[in-house]
Amino acid sequence: MEPNEAAHRPVLVAEVLSFLDPRVGARYADCSAGHGYFAERLAQCIGPTGRLLCLDVDTDAVEATSHRLARFGDRCTVVRRSYVGLPEIAAELGLGRLDGIVIDAGCVSREQLMNPALGLSFRVEGELNMKLNPDAPGPTARELVASLSTGELAAMFRAAGESPRTARLVASAIERARTRRPITTTTELARIVEEAVDAARLRRGDRHPATRVFLGLRNAVNQELPTLEQGVHAAVRALDEGGRLCVLTYFGTEHALCRQTLRALERGCTCPPSLPVWGCGRQPLVRRIVRDPLSPSPREVRSNESARSARLHAVERTAAPV
């Protein structure tokens, strides 16, 4: 099973709801609605006077979420936009500051993975595309595989958690293969990776050797790490005092980026420690609810394999001005 293949079963649900503590009449945002499963749980809690804003860049996800939430009527608004623009979108809709926000970062649904047109899965034959937002600028996965140098490909795979040795090996195999003919499909790329890893006897465990290769490509195509960093800042700006932000991350680089971003927002002041007087005037914008990100319980991992790598970060907005 690929990472997040069963993403239609959201992870750490009880913990997220506990931290957000959704209540009747309050205002919330699900910044990566997927197919609406997390949003549905929030919509059930806020009552007819509450408001829920759901965002996603994928057209099919927006349609699925809209259908799932239709029975809640006007309390839910689903918009095909990136959560990087959350404060502006909330203002446009007259929501004001929000009481709670959830970001399920880097998580794609099974429906998306199984869609050949998106080309996200090494298990499904499809063109190497991987663009979740077809309107977004930038290259497709096929174009990256064709144009990046061996070093750039290896760095991309390492950023997705691949070992340096395997990343270099796979990047070299791709370089050799593309000199013979263009690599155009998901299964073709998966086969190149699988053959290279097996020949070097580097396969470990049950994970398919192309898992992190495809994850690295998807991250690069959709700019998921820059979006996460910008989106966390946007979410903090959109929160009301005392409002809470929960962020779910799924792999090492994503965990570290979220943790570093939230710690910087919690620290506030950016003056070097060597200065005798701190004069930047920046105040902490958040405080951590839990000191270290939460992991799913062994019981949840047993029942939902996609939960195994998830981590939950949770903070509360302070009264400091942005």
Q: Which residue intervals of the chain are DSSP H helices?
A: 13-20, 37-46, 59-69, 86-92, 110-113, 141-147, 150-159, 164-180, 186-199, 211-222, 224-238, 252-267, 298-303
Question: Is residue 5 predicted with pLDDT exceeding 90?
Answer: no
* More confident of the two residues 3 and 265: 265
What mean pLDDT, rounded, does the chain reach? 90
Angstrom CA distances, 207 to 115, 194, 213, 234, 308, stand at 21, 11, 12, 35, 13
Averaged pLDDT, 16-42: 93
Query: How wide is the angle at C-alpha 83 spanned by C-alphas 93 and 85, nearest 5°?
Result: 60
Q: Which of 28-32, 145-149, 208-212 has the lowest mean pLDDT?
A: 208-212
User: Looking at the predicted structure, is the pLDDT value of residue 8 above 60?
Assistant: no
Confidence of residue 7 (pLDDT cuts 50, 70, 90): very low
- The mean-pLDDT minimum among 13-22, 103-112, 122-131, 176-185 falls in 103-112
pLDDT at 322: 84
Chain region(s) in the chain for CATH 1.10.150.170: 137-222
**CA dist., res. 322 & res. 250, Å (int):** 28
| The pLDDT of residue 4 | 41
Closest CA to 236 of 162, 138, 314: 314
CB within 8 A of 240, min separation 6: which ones?
96, 97, 98, 99, 317
CATH 3.40.50.150 at 13-110+224-317, yes or no = yes
Where in the chain do CATH 3.40.50.150 domains reside? Answer: 13-110+224-317
Under a CB-based contact definition with an 8 Å cutoff, are residues 235 and 97 in contact? Answer: no
Statement: residue 47 has pLDDT above 50? yes
Is-above-0.85 flag for pTM? Answer: yes
Looking at CATH, the fold of the domain delimited by 137-222 is given as DNA polymerase; domain 1 (1.10.150)
pLDDT digits 0-9 by tens, 219-249: 999 999 999 999 999 999 999 999 999 999 9
What amino acid is encoded at 215 in this protein? L
Q: Is pLDDT at 44 greater than 70 in this prediction?
A: yes
pLDDT digits (tens, 9 = 90+) for 205-223: 677 899 999 999 999 999 9
Helices (H) and strands (E) in the chain, counts: 13, 7
Q: Quote the pLDDT of residue 6.
A: 40
Three-class DSSP category at 72: helix
pLDDT, residue 3, reads 41
